[in-house]
Chains A and B, each alone.
Chain A
């Protein structure tokens, strides 16, 4: 507790607002309702913490998530009890799967009514328990400030994640002395920071002896702000680097040592290099099934080093040889200094041969597509988006084919630029996430690459975008199909396209216009670049670009279920 301050009595709602101010919260994304009215009243009486009114609570969580992913600071959400909280669950689960720091405040019915099936009552703690890092129910206003401090501490340290704080309405009305603790300690929560020195030495020895090394890096590098250290290490050693879907931007995509994304829709060279490597260095990645393919066939020749902040991620799916628990940035820096202190250098001759082999795989040009088509190829749209924005946009996406094309064809050179729901795979994420990004970076170009299926899951947020004048550029790759479902049905269900065709789509141009935005319809390849340029010039407007794309385009390469990383379907 801070001492020496004159302690004043405040209501729980005022304490809530003061605590958020003390945490330096810029924006809180939310939606009012009965149980949180005292809090909204307290928010109304100040202007430090700006409230963003969304149109659905799911969007509040995704917007806070986008804010968090693009800044590294925790996203903050407030929703009311009952349906307010249940609507937020998808966004909480999305953040949980991708380890995004977020604090979600849920209103609750007054304490004396809890368990009574009161109006708008739900067991918020019980419903969110499996998809939060931790949760708190505040039953006494005297504990409110400290609980909020703990919530931010838990959400942002160690392996980050969402924390739910459930606050009954009477707690927000009662009074208590307010003082905000500078720090909290929790005896049962002590995240590891520094990696084990002996393990790091063993890892470095293995790496320097590698003939066919591979750096496989994930979202942890971005969450742990370790891009600079990773880039230095890769260049120092001349090792190839692949990023997971969550890790794109952690290593510059335009760098010659980058071999592209790996996994189910990864590049041929990345997956082949994984399959043939002899030393694999996994950094802040968790061997997800979309990365490994068939686990029996995964990296058959490799000895594996795994750096991760979460001990439970190590040897969960794949047994590793050198586990290192710690902050990735810290561990990579110690690795760099360990390498600097040793006279041993990587095997240059072996690496030359390895790079020759990788270049041979690269020559397959696995991301090529038909450039002479009379239909708009979705890949072409993303490629042009990259050119027009000079690779400097924040790109959010929804989930499906468009997500993979955005990941494959937009070359992210910086971390925190690629914002997508990798773990949970939440359709509807893209637009509200883009709102959060645009709030955090008001002058930046924020593009939401989406499809006509996903965008309709949170389309109501076009209204929020108008209210706050968010000039997001929506790139709708409209193929009139739930494309990824359609692709699987084509490949694995003998073209029985069960429920993957959407009839009665709205006129997206008119829809955008009715929400007060600019709508554009693009139907010919020749118009793609011009439309994108025109949209980017409308700096203060949201532009909804409806690209009518080739209906039957598929995402390649593809590792079919049960396949090994060397068993890709190529175009």
Chain B
């Protein structure tokens, strides 16, 4: 998308005006400062996805659009989670974080903050194995995506 004021709100406005659902949305500038890249996750029948694609194309800020699910692709999302970590729990939480290849990035005498990256399902799985009551706060970045192999979204 053009990296301009209002571009994000045009996309968000389109989804709300036409009753489409945004599951997650991430946006940041690219190596070309005039362009931003947005990864948006939505859900719908083939017809709805086709309409969403066409309507997005019509937005003048949208420079290029690619449906990642048309081919093999990689999805990544980052999770930051702050956990109660006291007494015996500290060791257990450290082990769980290791199993999921998470990293403990902040420690206090009562808490751990864990950083974990992966697809949405992996992050869900991690949150599920934590014992109830362990979680103080969860931050998820939303999904970023990139195509596998030679396929790329580039001008």
B54 & A312 in contact (Cβ 8 Å cutoff): yes
Assess whether A125 is interfacial by the CB under 8 Å rule: yes
Chain B hits for A135, CB < 8 A: 6
Whole-angstrom distance from the CB of A479 to the nearest CB of chain B? 36
| In the bound complex, CA of A312 to CA of B58 (Å) | 8
A315 & B47 in contact (Cβ 8 Å cutoff): yes
Chain B hits for A126, CB < 8 A: 9
Residue interface bits A182-195, CB-to-B below 8 A is 1, else 0: 00001111000000
| In the bound complex, CA of A295 to CA of B2 (Å) | 38
Chain A hits for B17, CB < 8 A: 130
Assess whether A300 is interfacial by the CB under 8 Å rule: no
A311 & B6 in contact (Cβ 8 Å cutoff): no
- Among A133, A137, A189, A310, the one with the most B-chain Cβ atoms within 10 Å of its Cβ is A189
| In the bound complex, CA of A134 to CA of B58 (Å) | 10
Residue interface bits B11-35, CB-to-A below 8 A is 1, else 0: 0010001000000000000000000
Assess whether A364 is interfacial by the CB under 8 Å rule: no
Whole-angstrom distance from the CB of A317 to the nearest CB of chain B? 10
Assess whether B5 is interfacial by the CB under 8 Å rule: yes
* Chain B: CB-nearest residue to A129: B13
Whole-angstrom distance from the CB of B5 to the nearest CB of chain A? 7
Chain B hits for A134, CB < 8 A: 60
Residue interface bits A116-127, CB-to-B below 8 A is 1, else 0: 000000000110
| In the bound complex, CA of A186 to CA of B62 (Å) | 11
A130-B17, A187-B63, A188-B61 in contact; A312/B51 too (CB < 8 A)? yes
Assess whether B57 is interfacial by the CB under 8 Å rule: yes
| In the bound complex, CA of A126 to CA of B57 (Å) | 20
Which of A129, A137, A311, A319 has a CB less than 8 Å from the CB of B57?
A311
Chain A hits for B1, CB < 8 A: 188
Residue interface bits B84-128, CB-to-A below 8 A is 1, else 0: 000000000000000000000000000000000000000000000
| In the bound complex, CA of A189 to CA of B61 (Å) | 8
Assess whether B55 is interfacial by the CB under 8 Å rule: yes
Assess whether B10 is interfacial by the CB under 8 Å rule: yes
B63 & A137 in contact (Cβ 8 Å cutoff): no
Assess whether B67 is interfacial by the CB under 8 Å rule: no
| In the bound complex, CA of A571 to CA of B18 (Å) | 38
Residue interface bits A357-399, CB-to-B below 8 A is 1, else 0: 0000000000000000000000000000000000000000000
Total of A-B residue pairs, C-beta within 8 Å: 37
Whole-angstrom distance from the CB of B26 to the nearest CB of chain A? 20
Whole-angstrom distance from the CB of A364 to the nearest CB of chain B? 37
A130-B13, A137-B5, A310-B58 in contact; A316/B63 too (CB < 8 A)? no
Q: How extensive is the interface on chain B, given as a class?
A: 20 to 34
Chain B hits for A176, CB < 8 A: none
Assess whether A270 is interfacial by the CB under 8 Å rule: no
Chain B hits for A312, CB < 8 A: 51, 54-55, 57-58
Chain A hits for B47, CB < 8 A: 315, 319
* Chain B: CB-nearest residue to A125: B6
Whole-angstrom distance from the CB of A56 to the nearest CB of chain B? 26
| In the bound complex, CA of A126 to CA of B8 (Å) | 12
B62 & A188 in contact (Cβ 8 Å cutoff): yes
Chain B hits for A125, CB < 8 A: 6
Residues of B36-74 at the interface with A, using a CB-CB cut-off of 8 Å, are 47, 50-51, 54-55, 57-58, 60-64
| In the bound complex, CA of A137 to CA of B55 (Å) | 22
A188 & B60 in contact (Cβ 8 Å cutoff): yes
| In the bound complex, CA of A316 to CA of B62 (Å) | 20
Whole-angstrom distance from the CB of A463 to the nearest CB of chain B? 36
B10 & A129 in contact (Cβ 8 Å cutoff): yes
Chain B hits for A189, CB < 8 A: 60
* Chain A: CB-nearest residue to B17: A130
A188 & B5 in contact (Cβ 8 Å cutoff): no
Whole-angstrom distance from the CB of A97 to the nearest CB of chain B? 13
Chain A hits for B61, CB < 8 A: 188
Which of B2, B9, B50, B51 has a CB less than 8 Å from the CB of A188?
B2
| In the bound complex, CA of A126 to CA of B47 (Å) | 29
Assess whether A154 is interfacial by the CB under 8 Å rule: yes
The 5 A-B pairs at the shortest CB distance, nearest first, are namely A312-B54, A188-B63, A134-B60, A189-B60, A130-B17
A binding-site residues for B, Cβ under 8 Å: 125-126, 129-130, 133-135, 137, 154, 186-189, 310-312, 315-316, 319
- Can you add 10 more A-B contacts, CB < 8 Å, to A135-B6, A188-B1? A129-B6, A129-B13, A133-B60, A137-B6, A187-B63, A188-B62, A188-B64, A310-B58, A311-B57, A312-B54
9 residue pairs of the A-B complex, CB under 8 angstroms, read A125-B6, A129-B6, A130-B17, A188-B61, A188-B62, A188-B64, A311-B57, A312-B55, A312-B57
